[in-house]
Amino acid sequence: MKYTFPENFWWGSAASGPQTEGTYEGDQKGANIWDHWYAEQPEAFFDQVGPNRTSAFYKNYKADIQLMKQTGHNSFRTSIQWSRLIPNGTGEVNQKAVDFYNSVIDELIANDVEPFMNLYHFDMPMKMQEKGGWENRETVEAYVHFAKTCFELFGDRVKKWFTHNEPIVPVEGGYLYQFHYPAIVDMKKAAQVGYHEALASAKAIKVYHELNQGGEIGIILNLTPSYPRDENNPEDVKAARIADAIFNRSFLEPAVKGVFPTDLVDLLKEIDYLPVIEEGDLDIIKENTVDLLGVNYYQPRRIKAKESAEKLSDGPMPDDYFDNYEMPGRKMNPYRGWEIYEKGIYDILTNLRENYGNIRCFISENGMGVEGEERYINEDGRIDDDYRIEFVKDHLKYVHQAIQEGSNVQGYHMWTCMDNWSWLNAYKNRYGFIAVDLDNDCKRTIKKSGQWFKQMTDNNGFDD
């Protein structure tokens, strides 16, 4: 069968500033929470590889953009590091950062690769975190100032902006499950953090629209469908609905509809964990919804009614309302411990079409992290990652089906262009179309999947 995609479909990949740029003497970048955590606890990071040793995009971006062309990109998303542009979070702008980002943007455009620019990818400036980070209302205003600075500096050329990547992750990682800094367990603070992120997003959207720069602005959400163990069991269905409210609709509803989900509000009210809301906030959220939605999809969430008596914390936690369920016979990526369920991408797009006004959207991340890819190097030195080609194809078939049924999906970006540093996991799992040899001056080699992607995007589709 032939799978052909609409004309002008956005083909490419996604990355982030903190995961690719690296840190160099004299670059005048300020410390962010990852720099701080690594300095405090290097042993927490896989192989003790920290954010100073990412894939050196800061030095290699011109050659890297040529590799994007060679792997079929017409668009590429990255992020502007807050701590690079405004090292203390507020105050002086780092001119070296302005020069760097200007050059990256110009180089992308010169090579017919459209820049998609995200503003927050988990990289809170440490000076802001010392005052509470997203727990602190002041951070909202500092972020909005940062966003406005970016629009004014780069908005003449960048026409696709995103306020946050996966805003639920700082909530989950930093305040519930301890895989992001400050790694505490406090659901009340988690609720405040999530609220401030949603408010900051709406305020940045307001500023962007007021500047009339002729582009569009959205948010990037990791939408993880919550499937009940048994759709005929009301308790399973209810548990899945709660998980969906906490992890998906908490950001999806305010971003697209301008309101918070009532079931989530009721749940937080019941445990007295509602965030502090100032007068006028809810109007700002209501009136400043997104133009465009980025969808990150990796895995489903499978849920059953609460059965275990285990408590993760002395205080309330999301897991008090449901248990995770391991579906028998599920297909797995054993390296990442994630289920591979391609139809999830179709279910998300269908949900957006049916329940969210068929908002213009694109797949902003989808990918497969694999450990030890050097096992697949052929005699020419290329990694033959046929499993990644299969993974992308199998997801694209469902994207194609969603388009046939009227979904307003505009593109597909894989995570990621070249192998990059991945938080506490560092380089444990590789995701790129392009291999990065950390021990050999970050040498780049296009993998088989990168060559396939070029051929596929040249044809705007594939046969299978």
Question: Which residues, other chains included, contact 219 with Cβ-Cβ below 8 Å and sequence gap of 6+?
Answer: 162, 163, 164, 167, 201, 251, 255, 290, 293, 294
pLDDT at 283 over 90: yes
Measure the CA–CA gap between 167 and 185, rounded to whole angstroms. 17
CA nearest neighbour of 14 among 295, 265, 347: 295
CATH superfamily of 2-463: Glycosidases (3.20.20.80)
Report yes or no: 17 and 79 within 8 Å, Cβ to Cβ: yes
C-alpha dist (Å) from residue 373 to 15, 385, 448: 20, 8, 12
pLDDT above 90 coverage of the chain, percent = 98
248 — pLDDT class (breaks 50, 70, 90): very high
Report yes or no: 77 and 116 within 8 Å, Cβ to Cβ: yes
pLDDT at 309: 86
Residue of 21, 114, 172, 365 marked catalytic? 365
pLDDT at 38: 97
Phi-psi region of 91 (alpha: psi -120 to 50; beta: other; left: phi over 0): left
pLDDT at 376: 95
pLDDT at 311: 85
CA atoms in the 13 A half-sphere facing the CB of 326: 5
Average pLDDT rounded to a whole number, residues 209-222: 98
Strand partners, 78: 117
For the packed helices 168-175 and 187-211, what is the interaxial angle rounded to 10 degrees?
Answer: 150
**pLDDT (tens digit per residue) in 392-440:** 999 999 999 999 999 999 999 999 999 999 999 999 999 999 999 999 9
CA nearest neighbour of 369 among 418, 333, 321, 340: 333
pLDDT at 187: 98
**pLDDT (tens digit per residue) in 253-274:** 999 999 999 999 999 999 999 9
Active site residue 365: yes
441 — pLDDT class (breaks 50, 70, 90): very high
Measure the CA–CA gap between 260 and 248, rounded to whole angstroms. 11
pLDDT above 70 coverage of the chain, percent = 100
Sign of the torsion formed by the C-alpha atoms of 102, 87, 293 and 326: positive
Average pLDDT rounded to a whole number, residues 186-199: 98
Q: How many CB atoms sit inside 10 A of residue 374's CB?
A: 10
pLDDT at 198: 98
Residue 193 DSSP label: H
Domain residue limits, the chain: 2-463
Encode 272-298 in three state secondary structure: CCCCCCCCCHHHHHHHCCCCEEEEECC
310 — pLDDT class (breaks 50, 70, 90): confident
